Amino acid sequence: MCTLYFPPKTGDWEIVDPARAGFDPTKLEAAVAFVLENESVMDRDVQKALVEQRAFAEPPPLGDILGPTRSRADPHGLILRGGRVAASWGDTKRADITFSVAKSMLSICAGLLQDDHLIPDFDSRVRDLVDDGGFEPPHNDAITWRQLLQQTSEWQGELWSKPDTVDRNRDLSLTPAENITKGQMRDLSAPGGFWEYNDVRVNRLSLALLRVAGRPLPELFRERIMVPIGASSNWEWHGYNNSWIEVGGRRVQSVSGGSHWGGGVFMSSSDQARIGLLMQRVGVWEGQRLLSENYFHQAVEPCPLNQDYGLLWWLNRSGTRVPAAKRSGLYAVGFGSNIIWIEPELDLVAVVRWIEPNAFKGFTDRIVAALKN
């Protein structure tokens, strides 16, 4: 029986010869060169990119930055095969802002709370566990955990000075329409009736998870995931300057599910690769189950309204995102672009930081073409 490799908690991550890992070395080298040739055009000053360039096209005060940001440096990333490093580039230890990769971290936190039976069923109403005024009749009371995790909740309201309307019509790829722009009003569907990428609703999920956990989500994530997988200590997860609440007599911050208005997860490529490897190994790390199979299979089950979206994880069921890759792949994707690409069938994990969005397909095409077996 073959023993699966896991990187040590201390010491160097094993580097494998590309040919031994099943790659054509020349083609793999070309794939890495392609990443470096297609660096994101987003300003390296992230604050400037969000404020001056209006990355999300929001006038003040809707676009006001409420959480920390940090300038980025050169692109960085790595490619794992069999858990070993087949290629890397840039400073893989640098903890850069990750944008919506944080959503997949929120999904893992939800999985941990379900594994602990604190959320017995993702199809139960959030209101049954969270009574903080955010899930009141006549509309929000029917919302379930799964709907929040699949971005179909249609939650209505304002959180941390951001109304849900700021991200209405943000992504209309599923329902193309003319003369519709992000932030434009539309009639709400019943919960579960419309898929929309909405950061206010994701932040409402984060707050609900905090209420159920009874402690900061970064604390939960560190204890149950990051420490067991041997991650570094230089990652951070922030909310906003106005997202502090009291839980059990303790003042804690509700963290954001991205960096739309600053905050979110700051993490290195190396640490993200460990998370990717944990998911590729279906929640098991060195024989210890950190996430249940039940959570994993729910996380990669396509949303009925969007076959390329699971529980805050992007999927490749339609083959649209990565035509050359397996349909079983999953992705954590953030603005910039910041991507964790996980291919369970290929025993492959890749972390790519600061690549132009339209170049990611070219990168994956080259990686798949470089695989000999």
Tens of pLDDT along 171-207? 646 555 555 677 677 889 999 999 999 999 999 999 9
Structure tokens given for 308: 């390329």
Measured CA to CA, the distance from residue 137 to residue 171 in angstroms comes to 27
288-289 and 284-285 strand pairing: antiparallel
Polymer length in residues for the chain: 373
If one counts every other C-beta atom within 10 angstroms of the C-beta of residue 267, the result is 28
pTM for the full predicted model: 0.96
Q: Are the beta carbons of 240 and 263 closer than 8 angstroms?
A: yes
Please name the residues in contact with 273: beta carbons below 8 A apart, sequence gap of 6 or more.
Answer: 78, 80, 92, 340, 349, 351
Helix orientation angle between 101-115 and 199-213, rounded to the nearest 10 degrees: 30
Q: What is the pLDDT of residue 57?
A: 75
- Please report which residue ranges of the chain form alpha helices under DSSP H: 25-37, 46-51, 101-115, 145-150, 199-213, 217-221, 269-280, 293-299, 360-370
Does domain 25-98+235-241+264-370 sit in CATH 3.30.70.2610?
Answer: no
Residues lower than pLDDT 70 in the chain: 1-2, 53-55, 171-180, 183
Count Cβ atoms within 10 A of the Cβ of residue 107 and give its class: 0-12 exposed, 13-18 middle, 19 or more buried.
Answer: buried
Q: Are the beta carbons of 159 and 66 closer than 8 angstroms?
A: no
Nearest to 259 by CA among 237, 234, 243: 237
Instruction: Say which residue the tokens 């029917």 belong to.
Output: 142
Count how many Cα atoms sit within 13 Å of the Cα of residue 139 in the half-sphere of its side chain.
Answer: 12
Q: What is the pLDDT of residue 169?
A: 80
Listed in order, strand segments (DSSP E) in the chain are 76-81, 84-89, 96-97, 158-159, 162-163, 236-247, 250-255, 264-267, 284-285, 288-289, 314-315, 330-334, 338-343, 348-353
Measured CA to CA, the distance from residue 115 to residue 121 in angstroms comes to 10
Q: What is the pLDDT of residue 32?
A: 98
The phi-psi region of residue 12 (left if phi > 0; otherwise alpha if psi is between -120 and 50; otherwise beta) is beta
